[in-house]
Each structure stands twice: as structure tokens, then as C-alpha cells.
Chains A and B, each alone.
Chain A
Amino acid sequence: MSSNSVLDGAGSPSGTPGAATLLEVRDITTQFRTERGLVNAVNGVSFSLERGRTLGIVGESGSGKSVLSRSIMGLLPRSTTIRSGQVFFEGTEISGLNDSQYRKLWGDEMAMIFQDPMTALNPVMKIGNQITESLRFHLDMSKSDARDTAVALLKAVKIPEADKRFSSYPHEMSGGMRQRVVIAVALACGPKLLFADEPTTALDVTVQAQILDLLAEQQRERFMAMILVTHDLGVVAGRADEIAVMYAGRVVEQAPTDVLFREMKMPYTEALLAAIPKMDDPSHTRLSAIGGRPPDLVNPPRGCAFSPRCPYVQPRCHEEVPALTPSETTPSHSFACFYPVGSPETEAIRLDIAARRLMSTAPTPAQPSPPPFRPDDAPTGGV
């Protein structure tokens, strides 16, 4: 645990965000200029997050989830990016800052860990120095203080023989260990907010469990807020307090975790969950695949972006874009759909899908057995 975390209470709440709110994001839109045209990567995303809470952002490739977290932190290259919207951190607007102002925030107040531990660390620098670098820049520590803090951090992330490992290079460590070092670097100055962008996707499942356990423990000890970006619904189910589901650059459903899984409203979320093979299902269960492909972000379809693939689609869906609106019964649960799961108009379709899912878990009829293999069968001439 870092000894000199910068707990600065000096952030004066300016304007609307509530005192307890650590991060408020309003209507963030990010576009990239590419050869093919303007890519609408993130489209009007808003949410808020309090200290100590975890927000899980779930989406597949092209949903905009990684771009969103980099956008909020201000990490995207200026020349090719068009950004609009506001980001409030502890009440202060940070979206208009220049690079040197951002650098004071990064590492100190907010930090990020990335997917690939191989490339996130500098290969020619000892790992200990990568941690102390941050400490000495932000907290102005002396060399020896920084080293002690760094070793303590390595111990906190459960790296064995932390004192010796201080002088190791990244290539001498396994993927899981490297990710722990990345976490140590990120947490060194005691940030209040941690972005974890697919932190375990490149790791084995047992290592993933270790890393997620570690993140949860650190978060508890430091009372840190965390934004966990992933494509894996299983990961957020166990680790996030609230979940936002993204599709084609928009948040399409947002709710506290248990509410979301109990009553999914968005057909996309339902389809995504259905497409995952379940451990409890028997072998050869037919999976409910989502037909089609993710939308083209340069020329998105008219109306709802999911409409070409939605099993419940109605004419209105092709015309208008549904806005993210809170549910009447549960205000903490918002979704962007005209005919959410359970609507009367789509009830017939829903029953049909449910019935087919029941049938698909029936045991497979016996397969016809193939002819025995004889290797001197010349490859059959004539097709």
C-alpha cells in the first residue's frame, strides 16, 4: 500500500455534479478522421461514478468501449480525433485541458491499465524503476523513499521476492506477473480512479481470477473507483456494482448488476447473454447466435444501430434512434429501446424464442457413424 497517496480534498465542486460523485461524464462524443470517412466511435455517452464503486462497461469489438475510456482520460491523439462533451473529475471540468495539465492528473488522480501486459511495460527499463518514475514525478519523492514505496507496492500486488524483483526486466516475468507490475505502476501514486481496459483478456483464466481478486482487494483498501472495460459478461457479473452495455458507440443499457441480469430490457443484452455457452447446459446445446455483423461505424444504419440484427425489430426501429431512458419502475435501470424485452408488441416473438431455446437443450439425436478410414483410399476422383 502506498504511503503517500495524494488525497487532495481541494477539488471544489463547481457546478452541478454532486459532492460524492468522483467522475461525471456528459454526452461524450468521439470521432476519428480516417481514409474512409468519419468514424463515429463514441456517440453521446453519459454516466457518473462515485468513489469506491465499480462500473463495468461491456461491449464487443467496435462498440466503442476502449475509445470511451481513453477519451475520458484524454489519451487520444489530437490530430485525428474530434471530441465533444464534458468530463468532470471531482467537480472540475477536465475535458479542455492541455497535455501538461493532463500529465498532472495521469498517474496521480486517475490511472489506466491496458490489455497487453507484454507491451504495456518498457522492455529496457527495470520494473522497479518504472514504478519509481511515477512516484518521483508526481509525489517528488527521494530516490530511497521511492524505492521503498515501490518494493512495498510489489509486495501488495503479491509478487514474490519483491526486493529482488525490483531489478528485473519485463521479459524475465510471466504474463500474469507483468500485469501485476502494471497494476503496481498504476496504483503507485494512489489514484482515485482506475480504468481497467480489458485487463485480463490476454491472460489465462486462473491468472485472470488472481488479477481480478487483486484488483478488488486494492480497490477496497484504497477506496478507489474503477471502470472495468471488458467483452466478458461473466467478468462484470462478479466484479462490478453497475454495468453499462455499449453497442455501436452508444450506451444501450445501464443498471446495477443484479438488476441487469434479473431483468434485461435491451434485446442486444439478452442476445449477448444467450450467445454465451453456459456451463450448466449439456453438450451440444444449440447456441442462440446473433445473426449478421456489428455495424459499420462510418455509415451506421438508420434508426437503431442494432435493428438489422434484432429479433424483435419493428418498423419504428429503422426510422428513429431510441434514446437512453430510465425505466419507469426502476429508475436506476436505463435502456435505449422502443420495444424492450417484455413489451406487448414483441411478446409473441419472445415466447417463440424461449420455446426454441428450450427445445435446443434437448439431447442430440444420434449421429450417423462415418465410414471407417482406410488410408489407401486414393482421394476420390470425381466429385
Chain B
Amino acid sequence: MLRPGVSDVAGSGTAHLRGTDDVLLRVENLTVDFPAGRKRKVSAVNNISFDVMGGETLGLVGESGCGKSTTGKAIMQLPPPTRGQVRLGGIDLTSLRGEALRRTRPKLQMIFQDPISSLNPRRTVSQIVEEPLKIWNIGTADERRAKVVDVLTSVGIDPQAAAERKPHEFSGGQCQRISIARAVITEPSLIICDEPVSALDVSVQAQILNLLEDMKARYGLTLVFVAHDLAVVKNVSDRVAVMYLGKMCEIGDPAALYSAPAHPYTRALLSAIPLPDPSAPLDTAHHLGGELPSPIDPPSGCRFRTRCDRAQDLCAQVEPQMRHVSGEQFVACHFPLQDVAEVVVTV
């Protein structure tokens, strides 16, 4: 399943991509630029690559400005990325335009952060959930209604009571359930979850996370879960990728990543998490100092070097590539915290 690869591609490299047939989503050299006035641009996402196997959940984690949300939207082609490829089941979405792209939509859905804002306040719940079926003319009116009832029940909303009500009559958690119902009704292959629980209370968050797992099992979904909360991400993900300032720092199995991070940024992130355990000492030594650099003029070479206590001259000159650590873990760092397998095989 893993193949140590030569990363001779400029940018963060593709050594961590798995080349098997089970890969549902494959993103290569994704770059998303935004104009920043006066002929400048911001590279919100810069040359990242990753893949997701069918039935897997990939967690994309990072802080503000890292580009994780932009990545999620770029996968959806909303808007299409500036450069790079997004292959869903072998078809390159970035090469499609207009009607051809639109036809792929039912297979690729999204859940958003703000539960209230993601539902049209003027429509009723049943109209909102039925909408995807109506757009694609799926089934007769009765069949659609039955499907809406079915899907609402599976997300834990009573269809009788809820169908004719408007979103403002529901709580945040319930609105998020409705969003999930709307996302799964076309039976997509892949769902991008953009911070779906960040706006919810802890008790409701747990309900929604459990619900997502249930939906994943029921509909055979593959998820890309974007969030800033590392504990939440670990809970839902099979694989976690850490992003910083538009770049991917590290990717791997959550258990290994969290217990033995290879990238200094990952370690700083982990040390900052306040654990609900008073006996756990505060790891202030690894708390990150400094400020996030401006994305318009990011640091040369490794973008993290300005805040890294291990940075050396090389870090300013050469951008680090993804290298294999062990197992499923890959890191893009010149001086990682874990030993890197130096085996290089020319392909």
C-alpha cells in the first residue's frame, strides 16, 4: 500500500500519496490563489497533495489562515483551484466545466460550519431537504417525500413535527442535523465537512459527531473533515493532515501523529491543547511564540521557520518535501522530530 517515492516535484512533494485503486479522492499539487489588491496575490493553499481511500475519513487540521477551509472548497470546485488536480474516482474535476461539472455534484456534498446560516430561512425543512432531489428530478413527488421522511428520521429529527417548520425554530444542533440530512439525500460518495461542530456546545457536538459516524456507516461515505480542534479531529479521522499557512506539514495515522509528532508545528499545536485533567502539566516549553506571518509575503523555504526553534539556514533556502517517517506518517521538514526513513527508490 505504501511506496516510498522520489519527490522531485517542486513543492511539498507527493511521496505520501498512495497509488492504489481504492483511492476515491486524489488531490495533487493543489494551489488556490486569491487576488490581494494592487496586483498582489495570496496563496491561501500552495501546492499540497493528499489522497483519501474509499470509506476513510481524512482530518484536515490547522489554525486560522492555514488554508484548510479553502482546500475543502477547492475540492468542491467552489471556486475551482488556480492550479492542480482533484480526481474523484479517477475523473479529474478540475478539467470539467459547466454542465459536465454540474453533473458530478450529487456525488460530492458539503456540510458547513454555521448551522443557521447554511439553511434558507424562508424555506421549510422538508423543502430544504428535498431540494437536491428536485434539482435532479429524482423520483416522483411521493417517492421524494418518502425519502425525505426516511433521511430526517435517520438524522434524529421527527419528520412529522419538523417538516413544515422553518430553520429559526430549531437549535444549532438540530439545524446541523438538517444540513446533514440534506447532504446525504443524494447518496454522495464524498462529503466535505467544513468545521461542522465548531459552533456547537460540547454536549451537542458529541451528538453530531456520533451522528456523522452513523451516517458514514449507513451510506458508505468517505469524509474529509476540516476542523481546528485536534481532539475532535482525532475522534472522527482515520488519517490526519496538519496544515500551516497554506502548506501541509505532516500527515499520518492520528494515534502515531499525536503521540510522536514529527513536525515542530504539530508538537506546538499538541502542547497548546488544554486537557481536562488538572494533573497534566502545561507544556509551556513548546508553546508557540511569535505571530503568524503575512500570507501575502510568506517566509521563503519552509513557511514555519520564523517560529521554529529548530530552524537553520537550510530552512530558509529550500522548501521541505514530504518524507516518510514510519508506518503511515509523512512529514515535510528538514529537521523533523522523528527519524525519517531515508530510503529513496527511483521509479
- Asked if A and B touch directly (CB within 8 angstroms), the answer is yes
Complex contact A290–B220 (CB within 8 A):
no
Complex contact A284–B55 (CB within 8 A) = no
Chain B residues near A382: list those with CB within 8 A: 138-139, 143
Bound-state CA distance A177–B24 (Å) is 42
Q: Are B206 and A287 closer than 8 Å at their CB atoms?
A: yes
Given the known interface contacts A205-B63, A289-B203, A370-B55, the answer about A238 and B275 at a Cβ–Cβ threshold of 8 Å is: yes
Residues of B within 8 A of A233 (CB): 202, 276
Residue in A213, A275, A289, A375 whose beta carbon sits within 8 Å of that of B103 in the complex: A375
Q: In the complex, what's the smallest C-beta–C-beta distance from A230 to chain B, in angstroms?
A: 9
- Chain A facing B: main interface SS: loop
B235 touches A281 (CB 8 A): yes
Interface size class of A (residues with CB under 8 A): 35 or more
Query: Would A367 and B276 count as touching, CB distance under 8 A?
Result: no
Given A60-B203, A279-B258, A383-B139, the answer on whether A258 and B279 have CB atoms closer than 8 Å is: yes
Q: Does residue B207 face the partner (Cβ distance < 8 Å to A)?
A: yes
Task: Identify which of residues 137-190 in chain B touch chain A, using a CB-to-CB cut-off of 8 Å.
Answer: 137-139, 143-144, 146-147, 171, 173, 186, 189-190
Nearest residue in B to A291 (C-beta to C-beta)?
B207
| B210 close to chain A: CB less than 8 A | yes
Q: Encode contact with A along B186-215: 1 for CB under 8 Å, 0 otherwise.
A: 100110000000000111111101100100
Question: Is A368 interfacial (CB-CB < 8 Å)?
Answer: yes
Chain B residues whose CB sits within 8 angstroms of the CB of A377 once the complex forms: 107
Query: What's the minimum C-beta distance from A262 to chain B, rounded to whole angstroms?
Result: 8
Q: Which residues of A contact B213 (CB under 8 A)?
A: 284, 286
| B265-317 contacts to A (CB < 8 Å) | 268-280, 282, 284, 287-289, 291-292
**Contact assessment for B288 and A210 in the assembled complex, using a CB-CB cutoff below 8 Å:** yes
Assess whether B203 is in contact with A277, with CB atoms less than 8 Å apart.
Answer: no
Q: Which chain B positions have C-beta within 8 A of A238?
A: 274-275, 278, 280, 282
A206-B268, A373-B189, A379-B138 known; A234 and B274 CB under 8 Å? yes
Q: Which residue of A lies closest to B88 (CB)?
A: A373
Contact stretch, chosen from B36-44, B113-121, B224-232: B224-232
> Which of chain A's residues has its CB closest to B239's CB?
A283
Q: Does A174 contact B291, Cβ atoms closer than 8 Å? A: yes
A231 and B202 contact, CB distance less than 8 A: yes
Tell me, yes or no, whether B34 is within 8 Å of chain A by CB.
Answer: no
Q: Which residues of A contact B238 (CB under 8 A)?
A: 283-284
Return the contact of B202 from the options A261, A272, A383 (Cβ within 8 A): A272
**Chain A 103-147 interface mask (CB, 8 Å, partner B; 1/0):** 000000000000000000000000000000000000000000000
Assess A205 versus B89: contact at CB under 8 Å? Given A210-B287, A373-B24.
no
Mask, A258-269, CB within 8 Å of B = 1, is 100100000000
User: A282: which B residues are within 8 A, CB to CB?
Assistant: 255
Q: Report whether B104 and A258 are in contact in the complex, using a CB–CB cutoff of 8 Å.
A: no
Does B324 make an interface contact (CB < 8 A)? no
B139 lies within 8 A of A381 (CB) = yes
Q: Considering the chains assembled together, what is the distance between the CA atoms of A290 and B186 in angstroms? A: 30
A272 near B272 (CB under 8 angstroms)? no
Contacts of B107 in A (CB 8 A): 373, 375, 377
Q: Which one of B146, B217, B275 contacts A383 once the chains associate, using CB atoms below 8 Å?
A: B146
Instruction: With A278-B231, A382-B143 as known contacts, state yes or no: A271 contacts B88, CB within 8 Å.
Output: no
A-side contacts of B275, CB under 8 Å: 234, 237-238, 279
Give the residues in chain B near A277, CB-CB below 8 Å.
Answer: 206, 209, 229, 231-232, 234-235
* Residue from B22, B232, B273 in contact with A369 in the complex, judged by beta carbons closer than 8 Å: B22
Seed contacts A61-B201, A206-B288, A287-B209; 19 additional CB < 8 Å A-B pairs? A205-B272, A235-B274, A237-B274, A237-B276, A238-B280, A257-B278, A278-B231, A281-B235, A283-B237, A284-B235, A289-B204, A293-B171, A370-B221, A371-B220, A372-B89, A373-B189, A375-B91, A379-B136, A382-B143
Q: List 14 A-B contacts (CB under 8 A).
A: A206-B288, A231-B201, A232-B274, A275-B203, A276-B231, A279-B230, A283-B254, A284-B235, A289-B206, A367-B217, A369-B22, A373-B24, A375-B89, A376-B103
The 3 closest A-B pairs by CB, nearest first: A373-B89, A234-B274, A370-B220
